[in-house]
Amino acid sequence: MRTVKTGLTVLSFLCSYGIAAQKSTETIAKEIGFSSNSVENMLVVQNVNGPISVEGYDGKTIKIEVEKTISARSQALLEEGRRDIQLKIEEVGQRIYVYLESPWNDFDTAIGRYSNRKKNGRWEQPDYRYYLDFKLKVPKNTNVKLATMNDGDIYAKNVHGEEIIVSNLNGAITLDNITGKTDVNALNRDINITYYKNPSGDSKYHSLNGDVNVTFQADLNAEVSFKSLNGDMYTNYDTEKLSPRLVQTKTKNGKKAKYNMSSEQSYRIGNGGIQLDFNLLNGDATLKK
């Protein structure tokens, strides 16, 4: 396991003082590369409070910029937050992990997840607020896994790896001009995806309280399953039913859809092949070319 020390370059620092609150903002920059060149290399970015933005480019290194903001009621608590909240970078096998490290959350690279610390049966919480804004540039062919929980959306553009996994608890997900097997899950906001090249592996699109809108290339060959309690699926692809019926054409937001797929059904597009699983609770899904 290779650990990248967080002796990172501080580019800017700002403190503002008021009667009710203190605030500190600093920008941290780092550049790192994988130890080996493999199609299985994956960048894992895990945030708690704040957004993540990733852009693919033609370079060979991962460029990381994180703006860290701490706010507190007193200068002492502000300094405590500045010490507690850190950026951690580790390379384990063929994965590079970039994540928030704090006394309040334990990140386990073995499972790729956080666990909160408890005291007397209750979740521990700091006496200050923290917010991290992640901006990264990655080699275009990098596989990525991105996740955040609060106060931020996730955006990825021009990422052309073999796999992209994204999870957001309370924010939206936007993936623009991407490729690869896809697994996305947004609990309370919309998912919007456009593909540069259709995925070559089975993919999942899940949302609890948002819509899922996906634009594929015209030559899509897939078998589509759709399940929703309170939503519909719309597509302008020709489809062949694999289980019950197609219902009459409907409109969504003033735009006419070629088909409206009924809930809990399966359909074939083109010659079939990969599985595309749309699972929603209270939103609609749009699958178009």
For 188-197, the pLDDT digits (tens) are 999 999 999 9
- Tell me how crowded residue 208 is: count the other CB atoms within 10 A of its CB: 16
> Could you tell me the sign of the dihedral formed by the alpha carbons of 214, 217, 218, 220, in that order?
negative
Query: Which helix (DSSP H) or strand (DSSP E) does residue 123 occupy?
Result: strand 122-123
Read off the pLDDT band of 266 (50, 70, 90): confident
Q: Say what the pLDDT of residue 115 is.
A: 67
The rounded distance, in Å, linking the Cα atoms of 87 and 96 is 13
Of the two residues 186 and 36, the one the predictor is more confident about is 186
* pLDDT for res 105: 78
Mean pLDDT is lowest, of 15-29, 39-53, 211-225, 262-276, for 15-29
Residues 209-222 have pLDDT tens digits of 999 999 999 999 99
Q: What is the mean pLDDT of the chain?
A: 85
pLDDT band at 159 (very low <50, low <70, confident <90, very high): very high
SS3 string, 175-212, reads: EEEECCEEEEEECCCCEEEEECCCCCCCEEEEECCCCE
Residue entry with tokens 């290339």: 217
Higher pLDDT, 75 or 240: 75
11 contacts 99 by C-beta, under 8 angstroms: no
Sheet holding 265-269, edge to edge: 2-4, 86-92, 95-101, 42-46, 143-148, 163-168, 181-186, 203-207, 274-280, 222-228, 265-269, 239-241
pLDDT of residue 123: 63
Cβ within 8 Å of residue 34, ≥6 positions away: 41, 91, 94, 96
The domain ranges of the chain are 22-287
Residue 50 has pLDDT above 50, yes or no: yes
User: In angstroms, how far apart are the furthest CA atoms of the chain?
Assistant: 66
pLDDT score recorded for residue 228: 87
Report the pLDDT value the prediction gives residue 148, as an integer from 0 to 100.
95
The DSSP secondary-structure symbol of 262 reads P
How confident is residue 117, by pLDDT bands cut at 50, 70 and 90? low
For residue 203, the model assigns a pLDDT of 97
Q: Is the pLDDT of residue 208 over 70?
A: yes
